[in-house]
Chains A and B, each alone.
Chain A
């Protein structure tokens, strides 16, 4: 029998892996308790956790979290569908690349949060401006990752499909798309992180609901432990969403060695 190393143990392994986080938590608590930092700038972790438990009993907290999630999920989903379609089309049809390639390259490095005032101008203060911003921000990494994945499709796979009777559309659906999946899934991870950045920053600037809004309200009201609790909520949601995406990626790419 092979010895079970600590890292591979299902529970202990997780504890070992995330032990730096426990250290960080301890350092946080200690620095605040010992007065190394101002209590307003960094309330002790225990105080923040108490505020968090207060939130968990408060239905309106779930409403705000739900609103943020809905906006992020809608914007991200639209960006995935359109980005994959656009990226694969750019790789498959010269005229699509000629039309959209320069636009995508131009906007890729631009900080999307700079568009927040514009999206508000176009779509108002409600959901639509946030969803549009998230969609726009995630569209570029999704388009580029799909484009790069599709462009790298091995030509002997396309030839094999042709000689087995595949039409051009068959080749795009049956060969180019699955061949792009590793790159698409990597792009999705980037886009997911971006969706979190964008929902928080757009709600921070102007909104009447959402976790970003809640951060601003608690901060403006001087309820710093509560503010930190909301930030922690965003961090945890981001972490869980990322883990979920990694699990999905493993499933989608299970054919890889």
Chain B
């Protein structure tokens, strides 16, 4: 049996709105993410995908012990859970190299090893030659590669990704999806991937978690780990199926770009 990397048991979460009322963002969410698996959270804008990811990351505080990572209740962020944001979130005052070594500096990795690893990661994501560039000098795709390298540098067991390719053009997105797939296969990391793109979710993940509109609940969990000769055809039919499932949710949700 596979062990659970992340176990969520009846999680609800409310934001305190500025007028003093509270906004229920997640309602009674239960989910198990197995170690080494690739799971997508899919749902319309505002359904609580980011909220769920930030709670797993420990960035948002919650009472109780509804979320366990490797059997331990989450109380805050930690280097066992790396995060990649849609808007890259690179430190703009650090170069690509400076960004990639930052986590290793905090983990007190010796300097020589730090630089070695950083240079290798930068090469792996295809940014060789841009070590000394500042994020403001890079294209969106290059920034996201740098952000992924920065997160991989501390070797987190779990990768949390919040619409990481949502701000990229279609062609760059395709290339990045392929690279992410390779990274996942090569490293065996657990990936929790937020998207509102059905095709992306089905193509990348083994399981697609379909969420309902706010307050977010889990509507359905669909197995999408296709292998073998008929994989392509089955990906296609799964996309159709899931599209049917979420059509209602998407249709009622506020429009988004």
Contact = CB atoms under 8 A, between A and B. Distances in A.
Interface string B57-83: 111000000000000000011110111
A165 interface: yes
Contact of A163 (B77, B134, B136): B77
- Interface residues of chain B: helix, strand, loop or mixed (majority): loop
B37 to A, nearest CB: 20
By DSSP majority rule, is chain A's interface helix, strand, loop, or mixed? helix
A162 B59 contact: yes
A39 interface: no
A160 interface: yes
Contacts of A165: 78-79, 103, 106-107, 154
Interface in B106-146: 106-107, 134-137
Nearest to B84: A160
A159 B102 contact: no
B57 A163 contact: yes
A235 B76 CA distance: 54
A175 B106 CA distance: 13
B92 A174 contact: no
Contacts of B54: 159
Contacts of B102: 161, 164, 166, 174
B106 A164 contact: yes
B83 A163 contact: yes
Q: Classify chain B's interface size.
A: 20 to 34
B214 interface: no
Interface in A139-168: 154, 156-157, 159-167
Given A159-B77, A163-B77, A164-B103, A256 B82 contact: no
Given A255-B134, A255-B136, A256-B136, A162 B77 contact: yes
A178 interface: yes
Given A154-B89, A255-B92, A255-B134, A160 B83 contact: yes
Interface of A: 154, 156-157, 159-167, 170, 174-175, 178-179, 181, 254-257
19 contacts: A154-B89, A156-B85, A156-B87, A159-B54, A159-B57, A159-B59, A162-B59, A163-B77, A163-B81, A164-B82, A164-B102, A164-B106, A164-B151, A165-B106, A166-B106, A175-B91, A178-B93, A179-B93, A257-B136
